Each structure stands twice: as structure tokens, then as C-alpha cells.
Structure 1
Amino acid sequence: MRKLALLQQVLPGSPRLFSILLALFGAIGFVSLLHAQDDEPRQAARVRISLPIAGSSDVAIQQSIERALQALPDVEPRPVLILELRPGRGGSADDSQFERCLALARFLTSTEMSRVRTVAYLPESVTGHAVLLPLACEQIIMAPDAQLGDAGIKEKSISETMRKAYEEIAGFRNSLPQAIAVAMLDRQEQVFRVNDRQFVSGEKYEELKKAGEVGKSEKIVSAGELAIFTGRDLRLKYQLISHLAESQQQLAQQLEVPDVDLQLDYSLERDWKATQVKLSGAITHNHVQQLMRMIQSEVAHQANLVLIEIDSPGGDPVAVESLMNYLMKQPDEVRTVALVKGKAASNAAIIPFACDEIVVSTDAILGGAGGYQYTEQGTVDVRNFLIQVGEKKQRRWSAWAAMVDPQLEVANYRHKQSGLTALFCQEELQDQIAPELWEQTAVITVPGQPLELTGGQAFDLRLADAIAADATDVARRYGVSGEISQPVRTWAHQLIDALAHPALAWFFLFIGISALIMEMQAPGIGIFGFMSAVCFGFYFWSQFLSGTAGWLEVLLFVGGVGCVAIEIFVLPGFGIFGLGGGAMILASVVLASQTFIWPQTDYQMAQVPYSLANIFIVMAAIAVSLMFAKHIVPHVPYLRDSMLQPPDEEAAEEQHRREMIVDLTHLVGQTGIAQSQLVPGGKAKFGRELVNVTCETGFAPRGAEVIAVEARGNYLLVKPK
């Protein structure tokens, strides 16, 4: 006002000139105000629509859209409402019902929806009558390979009501030409592209042709087929849709809205039953297995909101990756929320990245040095893993990778056109559409140190979705009416943890091997066989429940014991069955103690000595059992009756006398031909006599010449010639 008064004093005799200048300054101010408003990102909301639309699902979808409308302000420019159409798990868009889809399409074209700009986002193919929903939106954005069409794929005949409905919805929005919309429904329709930009039916094409208005034409839909197009063709070939987007980030960038606004609002989507589990302390394989068992148990009891409270310095990278994979494989009806109240350091910081939502307290610590440090190759592996997780969860991965990679530089970038901000490393930046449009504003990492952020900083940088003090605050956001259940560790969980303890597992392994060796020296099946079965049962059961053993290890062990038994009782000697069976037993024991077959990472290499310790235990058990059987068992009153004892001198003489009934001494010194492999036992032919022989050297191939060295009852001891 003072400046205007001063201007009026300077131009006292020119009121008309003053009025003109005043109007000019007002116009400039109004334009500046518009530009200031344009600098502010447009507000947006996203509603996910699971296909097919059948039963009463259209009512639930309409209610979700109405709740989103209530959350969006009534301002200019109009907020954006994104309807993400995606086939549900186990469902097909083809099965959508016409009446339900038409009711929803008419709602989308109603006056109530005029205060927002509706955008249909198709990350996957949409077919069947669900096609009506994109037609009812003002704008269509698709993934390049997603398809739109085949609306009448389940219809045996097309009624006039259906045709009129498709013409009505397509004509209201003009997102796609009416001719194409009807051709998606009716196989009898043809569509021609006339003069590059006009799309008409076959009937209209003939009219234009007769009128001489066709300069250039192309048939894009033939009679007898339903129209269906990929996003790539609709955008690049026909210029019928506005944009292509393969991820939530690209979608936000194309629409010039903050990607944080595109987070789904689940607060009133369904009745939530919440459960809370805690991941605290150093992360170990057993700890993670226990956590996953508790989550599985709660989900089996109808829990659909899993709150994972994390307060950990990190730990076993294999266990961390296993937990993240497990969280990502949860069914669609189960939502996982990571809550960081204390400190999630090292690789514990990346676990929230695999959850559906990330919530932090203001003073929480995310990232920084902790209980595990990756090697150079380890950082490459974890970065590749985070890229895969980011693609599935539609999140940017750079900042999360920097929490475990101290050498990765991450900076804050601002989009020159939209004003949106995002965190990128150079690798992720180059993967963006038009990376040259992003300008760096500030580097958030410190060279040589893993990225460490407070909860407040993580929220400001849009790494976290919300701020909450505790699990109750999180549950309140979802409208949880009941109490939050917390799984209780029962005696069964405690027993599993005790059995999986390395010391107890080694004890069972030692006793099991010792008892097995003792049983092989005893007639029939006795106490040692029972002890061996019990010990090995506990050993493999504990390893199976702790997640390190599976059916492969059990089958290897049983097969190995069977091969050794064949070698001892069927094919005496020490040949292929004995060697192979022993190797199978050792392999089963080693594999049952680790989560990998062959070490590939630094952490797995560190676990190899622990795995090899099982082999030494097996060897020690064999040695101890043999010593025990030879020197102790014969003097124990009960046990000596359960073992096979060597014959005394008188019994040995009687056995020798009985064996001498068959006299083969006349063949000693003669040369024969082995009629089978001698390993070491088998048969050989001396002249016309076929006798049992045992090879002195342990092996001789079939057809080899052998010399009889000594006659031993009813068989000969031979050696290769």
C-alpha cells in the first residue's frame, strides 16, 4: 500500500496512467500467484480395485472411492484420484459382471466425481467388462506390456443394451474412441484409422469413403475378433492414452504428484485383526525361524494386520533375506507393517523395506553401523536383492542400500518440471525416465559411513510412511477395534529352541552315530537301534523346525544307512555301497546344519567351520563306539548279551572242522577266471569247478585271472595274477 501511495504522489496529474499501471501490476501479481500455485505439487490419492468385479464388490469399491474423495480437498487444480486396476490373487478380470461394472462406471461419470480428475492406471492386463472402468475415467495410463480389451470375451451374444452402455461411457469421457470401445465388446465390429487421428466403425468408414473424406486409412480391428491393445500400442502407435508407467514412481512422475500421496489408505478397507511380533537383539537364523512360525500361527488364526516391531543391531544376512522374502510372500489379504521404535542398525534397517508400510517413531534410529558389516561382494549382492524388493514393493531402493553400503553415495534430487523430490544413487537415477530432468540438491550420505537417519528424518525424506509412538498408534490408523494380540511362547516353542541349540544337536548326533555303530555289531534290532532312531529323530526334527534341514537331508541319511547295511550284510567287503553310503551320511549331517548347499557369500564361508565340526563329531562317535564295543561292552553284564562275541578257541576249532567238509586244497596254486567282480567276495572258475572266492587285495574285475593262495573251508583265498 505504501508503494502504491508513493506511485500516486509521483504521478499526481495522471490518474488514467495510474489506473493502467495499477491494473498491470494486479495482472502480474495474479499470474505470479498462479505460478506459485503451480509450483505446489497436485494432491492425489490412489484406490486399488481388485478384479473381477462381481457380487457386491462394486458397492465396496464405491465406498472406498467415496472415502478417498472425503480425504481430498476441494481446490484448484483438481486433485487426482488414481484407480489402480489389478487382477486379484486367484481371480480373472474376464469374470467381471456387466451390471456391476456398468454401475461403477456410471458412478465414475457422475457429478459427484467432477471435483477430481480420475485416472485409470493399468499395471497389468484388464479384460472382460472391467474395461468399462478405464473408459469411465478422464485419463488412462498403462504399463507398456499391459493389455486392454476383449470386453465381450465371456459373452455368447451381445445385446443392444450392452452396446449402448459402452457407447454411453466411452462417449462421456472420450478416453478411447467409441468405435474402439464397441469393438472390444462385439466381434462383428470393424475399426478403421482414418487420416491418422480419426477412429471409426466400418459403417462410418464407408460413409466417409463415399463422401471422399478418406485420404489415408488403416484397418486396425477386423470382423470376427475382439479389439485388444497393449499400452505400448495405445500410446506410441495410436496416441490414444496419455502416458506409460511401469511403477508407482513413474506414475507419480507422469502425473506430477508426490509419490507418497499414492500410498493406499487401508484404514477403512476391511475389518482388521492385528497382531504384534517383536524382532529384538542380534538376528540369527533360529530367531527368524521362530518369528516366522509365530506370524504363520497368527495368520492361521485370522490375523490380517501384522505389526513387526524392530529393535536390532542386525546380524545373519541369510536370515535377514529369508525374513524379507517371507514377508513379501504374504497373501494379499494380510498387511505387514514395520514399526521402528528403537534402533534398526546395519541389515536390520532394510527389513522394513519388505513390508507393506513403514512406520517410525520420531526419535528412532534407522541405519548406521551395527552387528554385521558386508564385504564388497556382499554389498553388491544385497544391492541386487534390494532392487528386486523395490520393484515388487514399488519403492526406491537407493537410501536403503546406503544403510548397509558405506561407499554408496545417495543424494536428494528435485524434478525440474514437476518439483517432485526423490533420493537416488547414480545407478537408480539413470533408470529413471529422462534422468537429465532431475537436479541434485543435497548429498545425504557421508563417505565411508553407512547412512543413518532418525525417524523424523526418514519421514521427511519419504522413506517412512507414517510417524507413530507405538503399536497402538499404528492400530488406530487402521481403525482396529479389538486388542492387538501378541503371540505367547509356549512350551512347544521353547522345546524347539532347546532342540535346535548347537550343543544339544551335537549331543544327539554323537549318541545317534555311536548307537548305530553298536547296533550293527549286535544280532537283530535291540536297544542300540532304538537309541539311534530316537537320537537321529530328535536331531533331524530340531534342524527341520529350525529351518536348516529338509526332506533332502533326511532322505540322504536314510539312503546312506541303507547302503552301508547292504555293504555289511549283503555284499561283504568295503566297496561302492560302503563308500557311497558313508558319503551320503556325512553330506546329510553337514547340510542339516546349514541353510546353503555350497558357500557363496562371506557369511556362508564363516559358517563352514561350524558345518565341518559335525564331520569331526561323526568320526569321533565312530571311534568311541568301536572302542566301547571292544573294551567295555564285553564286561557289562546286560550289554554283553546284546553284542556278537567272537568264538572261543573250542568253538573256532569246531567251526573250522565243519568248514573242512568241503576240501578245496587241491586247487591251491592253480589259476582260475573270475566269473563276477570280486569286491572282495565273488565266484571264480578253476577248470570245471565254480567255487566261492575272496580276493586278497580287496578287488578284482570280472574275467581277471586269479591264483588260489589258500583253501579256507568252502571258499578259496585268491589274488590277481
Structure 2
Amino acid sequence: MKTKTKRQYFCQGLFRCILFFFLALSAQGLFPTGLFAQTAAAAPEPASPQGDAWIITIRGDIAPSMVSFVRRETKRALDQGAAFLIFEIDTLGGRVDSALQISSVIMSVKEARTVAWVSASSKSMGISWSAGALIALSCSSIYMAPGTSVGAAAPVTVVPGGEAQGAGEKSVAAVRSQMAALAERNGYPVGIALAMVDYDVELWEVTVNGSPRALTLTELQRLEREGVKLTRVAVISPPGKLLSLTSGDALRYGLLAGIVDTQEALLESLGAHAVLEESEPGMIDTILSLLGAAPVQAILIILGLVMIFLEINTPGFGIPGLVAILCFAAVFGAGALQGQVGSLELILFLAGLGLLAAEIFIIPGFGIVGISGFVCIGLSLILSMQDFIIPHSDLEWDVLGRNALVVCIGIIAAVAGIALIALLGPRLRIFDGLTLHTRITGTAGGPVQDDEPPPSENRKRSRRRIAEPVLPEAGDQGYASLTGKTGKAVSTLRPSGKAEIEGRAYAVETEGVYIESGEPIRVIRVLGNRVVVEKSNPQEGQG
């Protein structure tokens, strides 16, 4: 009966991993473009009567999972024929790149009117700050409830200590220009949008023909030079401060279309007939948000790589392989659900696994092939966390740097963990299941000597399969007398090889340890016609 080799077990496990991953993507209809044919899309349901509204709740941290939620629910609302898309915003902010993606989704809507609503309820904080302000300006109309606020949209970065600090001038300039473009597109005061982002903007309240307006100092001075009759009232936001507006101030300066306290009042103001559905992030979105967190991603990478190492070094396909599949399925699955995983990421990952397998099973040592495997795996993981390949803006460079840092930390920690397991694993009982500890009662050359120390009774499997007996090259049959003798290796012991003992060459072997040629050795036992040696101290000399 044929037994499977380690390589066959590994290849079988790898095939199961790939099949499991593709089946998971197939269930979600998320096969990468170009790999498989997409099934025919289901016909949309009949549109509801014109004038109905669909409420999409944007609450909590703005993260990549929120982008996929907004994109999915926006498509559903349009397929159902909603005339109004109401984005109920309640957030302290979040990632700028995610906010910009949500902004692009909102601005792409042509079939319905987009409305931002900063609500006040027992479930909300009544704020739309930072990334929330950018999302609000993306809508064609903004409504706020009494007692709510909007603003403070300057981009920040999180330093390694966990503290937030202001982003660089290039990032600020990118967000500032986008905020100004959104204000111009939807008819909002551009000065307010600039003052929410830039600390250097000085915003003034002026009256023009009896109406209050919010103008930057630059706009104010330009109008005064042109002879426009206006009156300076007060400084709304001095230099060095970011602008945040209450609902009353926002309405006063022309940012809002109205102040409404309830959902019914909002629908009445819009002229909407009814609410088709109120969408909120569900369990899947919560899980995606958790999996998208940097610490969780790093832990999954570390655990996945360590489990691959343990699976390769254990017989069959077991728990380590299953855990590795789950870890990388979580990383790539979360990216696929957010539209960030395509053909390139999968090809790089599988190529990396192939290179590592070749390094382990075919090429001795660890060199350029193994390093290339880690590089391919690292690149695939980085690309699975972002929706671009080559960065084209400072914000995308920031995202790339963040993802690269997470992946590098994960790979370095995994390599350190693998090295620690390789060093300490044989001494720890938790890893006894990875090795075989069976007592040898005899060999082809005779029984084990009486003075042979028995193995530990707690160990049921030996550390490795004992090699077949090898005959010594010398004709002397007094092998037992070699015990305790010293000599030197005349070839590299891997673990078998040749050694010179008392001027004669013998075929010897170690207990699984490599010994370089020329290193001193000592005979620790003789099992029939097998000579087992270990590395000795140079001070012991030749026997």
C-alpha cells in the first residue's frame, strides 16, 4: 500500500485552500474580472412610485467597509426606483480615502436627488465632523436637526504612538481643493468649505444688501477692491482654528437647505411620498470593519504564515493548514467584498506560496527563491488592502505606506515566530504532536545496548523517522567500542555522512542536527551497526 509523501500532502492542502477560496467568492458573486465568466445579473425589481425616499445610515468610523456598504445600498436604492437618497450622517470622521470614495459614489448618482441629514436622536451624537463633513458636501442638499454640528474636516495621520497629528501640506491641499470643488458643484459657500479644512483660512461674516454671508479674508478684500457695498460684522473663524458650525449658523450662512427635527419633517420638506427602506450597516459590515482594522490584519498575517510553517512540518493535512486557510481567506475575503481583490492579488499570493514550497521541498537552504516568495505574498497582501496598484496622489501614498507597514510588521513577526518555534519547539510539550517519539527496541544489526537511555514515557512519537542502518566503511566489527570516542566530520552530516574516528572513516549519522565538514564530533551511542554522533567541544580533542 502506497503512503502519501509530505509533498503530496502539502499540494493537496494547497489545492483545497484554493478551491475553498474560489467557492467562497463564487457564493458572493465576486470572482475577479478575467478569471471566470460572470453569471447573468438578475433583473431589477419593478421601480417604486416616483417620489419615494431611501435612507442610508452612515454612522461610526468611516472605513473601507463603509464604502462597500454605501455602494451596495446606493445600487439597491436606485434599482428600486428611489427618487431621494437620504444619507443620515452621524460620525466623528475616519479615513480620508474612504470618505473620498463615498463622495465619488454619491456624486455618481444621476437618477435621484442626494440629501445629507445630520440627525439628532437617542442613537446618534448629532455631529458630522471631519470625513462626515466631506460626505455631506457631496450631496445636493444638506439638512440638520436642531443642536447638531458640522465641520472640522482637516486630514490627520496616526503616529506609531497612537496619537493623531495634522497631515502634511500636500494632503491638506488635496482635501481642501476637493472640498472647494464639492461646494462649487452643489452651490455651497466655498469659504465655509475651505475654513473647515485649512487652519490658515480666516473666515468673516459680512452683510451684502442686508443678507449675511461667510467670506474668506481673500474674498472679502477682493469684493472691497471691486467696490461691492458690504459691511464686516465679525470673524467667524480666525487663523489657526478649524471651522465647525451649529445647525443655526449653517442655515444663517447658506450651507443648509433647512433645519428639520424628525424624519417626517424631512420627507415633507423634500416632498417625498414615503420611505422605501432604512439601511444600516449589518453584521457583515461590522465583521468587515473589524477585519479591516490594522491590528487585526497584522495578527491574521502572523498567524497565517506561522500555521503554514507548522503545516509543512507535520504529516498529513490538519489543524494548522485549516487555520492558515481561514486567516488568509479572512484577509482576501474582506478585500474582495470591498472590491479591492482582483486577479493580480490572487496570482501574486499563489506564486509566493509556490516559491516557498519550491524553497522548502526542492532547493536546499533558504535563498533568493524563498525571499521572492515572501515578497510576492507581501505584495499581494498590500494590494488586497487598497483599491489601486500604483499611487497617483499624496493620499494614496499615505494609504500605501500604512498598508506596507502593517504587512511588514506581520511578516517580520511571523518570521521571528517561526524561528522561535524551530529553536524551542522540540523542547516544548505543546509541539510533541508534530513529531514522533517511538522507542527503538532493535535494528537490522542487533538489539539496542542495555545501557541505552530510554526515551521519556510522556512522549509517544519520535522526533523523526530513524534512517535505515548504514554499514561502516571499515571492516572492524567492534562498533560498541566506539562509544565515547571523538573525531571529526569529513563530510557534511545532513544528518548522515562520513566521519574520521581514530584514523578510520565511518558512516555515521546525527540525531537530526546538521554538522559541517571538519567539525569535531563524539560518538554518543552505537545501535547495532549504526554509529550515532553529536557535535563535541574542540577541547575534547580526538579520541
- Give the shorter-chain TM-score range: 0.5 to 0.7
**Shift of the alpha carbon at 1:383?**
1.0
The yes-or-no answer on 1:458 pairing with 2:250 is yes
The yes-or-no answer on 1:322 pairing with 2:101 is yes
Residue 588 of structure 1: aligned partner: 380
Matches of residues 128-527 of structure 1 in structure 2 within 5 Å? 271-330=50-109, 332-341=110-119, 342-368=126-152, 374-375=166-167, 377=169, 378-411=171-204, 423-425=214-216, 436=226, 438=228, 441-442=231-232, 443-483=235-275, 485-500=277-292, 504-521=296-313
Q: Deviations over 1:215-259 (max 9, x none)?
A: xxxxxxxxxxxxxxxxxxxxxxxxxxxxxxxxxxxxxxxxxxxxx
Distance 1:536 1:345 in 2: 35
SS of the residue aligned with 2:194? helix
Asked whether the 8 Å contact 1:519–1:526 carries over to 2, the reply is: yes
**Shift of the alpha carbon at 1:271?**
0.9
* RMSD (CA atoms): 4.5
Residue 618 of structure 1: aligned partner: 414
SS of the residue aligned with 2:197? coil
**Shift of the alpha carbon at 1:469?**
1.9
Distance 1:444 1:463 in 2: 14
**Shift of the alpha carbon at 1:384?**
1.7
Q: Deviations over 1:191-228 (max 9, x none)?
A: xxxxxxxxxxxxxxxxxxxxxxxxxxxxxxxxxxxxxx
SS of the residue aligned with 1:653? coil
Distance 1:441 1:430 in 2: 12
The one-letter code sitting in structure 2 at the alignment partner of 1:436 is: E
Structure 2, unaligned runs of 5 or more: 1-47, 120-125, 157-164, 438-460, 475-517, 519-543
Distance 2:102 2:189 in 1: 20
SS of the residue aligned with 1:444? strand
Matches of residues 512-591 of structure 1 in structure 2 within 5 Å? 512-521=304-313, 528-545=320-337, 551-591=343-383
The one-letter code sitting in structure 2 at the alignment partner of 1:534 is: L
1:496 to 1:382, Cα distance in 2 relative to 1, 3 A? closer
The one-letter code sitting in structure 1 at the alignment partner of 2:422 is: L
1:514 to 1:652, Cα distance in 2 relative to 1, 3 A? farther
**Shift of the alpha carbon at 1:420?**
8.7
Q: Deviations over 1:61-88 (max 9, x none)?
A: xxxxxxxxxxxxxxxxxxxxxxxxxxxx
Residue 11 of structure 1: aligned partner: none
Q: Deviations over 1:360-399 (max 9, x none)?
A: 2344322258995744514322112223334544544221
1:495 to 1:386, Cα distance in 2 relative to 1, 3 A? closer
Q: Deviations over 1:441-493 (max 9, x none)?
A: 33533232222322232223221123322332222233332335212554444
Count residues with an aligned counterpart: 385
Query: Which structure would you say has the larger RCO, counting Cα contacts within 8 Å and 6 or more residues apart?
Result: 2
Structure 1, unaligned runs of 5 or more: 1-268, 658-708, 710-721
1:379 to 1:501, Cα distance in 2 relative to 1, 3 A? closer
| Range 275-284 or range 465-474, more displaced | 275-284
Residue 470 of structure 2: aligned partner: 653
Q: Deviations over 1:249-274 (max 9, x none)?
A: xxxxxxxxxxxxxxxxxxxx971332
1:439 to 1:448, Cα distance in 2 relative to 1, 3 A? farther
Q: Quick one: percent identity of the two aligned structures?
A: 24
Asked whether the 8 Å contact 2:294–2:406 carries over to 1, the reply is: no
Q: Deviations over 1:343-362 (max 9, x none)?
A: 32344323211012111234
1:587 to 1:281, Cα distance in 2 relative to 1, 3 A? same
The one-letter code sitting in structure 1 at the alignment partner of 2:89 is: I
1:326 to 1:621, Cα distance in 2 relative to 1, 3 A? farther
1:441 to 1:285, Cα distance in 2 relative to 1, 3 A? farther
1:654 to 1:286, Cα distance in 2 relative to 1, 3 A? farther
1:644 to 1:472, Cα distance in 2 relative to 1, 3 A? farther
Distance 2:104 2:333 in 1: 24
SS of the residue aligned with 2:226? helix
Asked whether the 8 Å contact 1:374–1:404 carries over to 2, the reply is: no
**Shift of the alpha carbon at 1:284?**
4.0
Asked whether the 8 Å contact 1:349–1:366 carries over to 2, the reply is: yes
Distance 1:540 1:530 in 2: 15
Residue 495 of structure 2: aligned partner: none
1:492 to 1:485, Cα distance in 2 relative to 1, 3 A? same
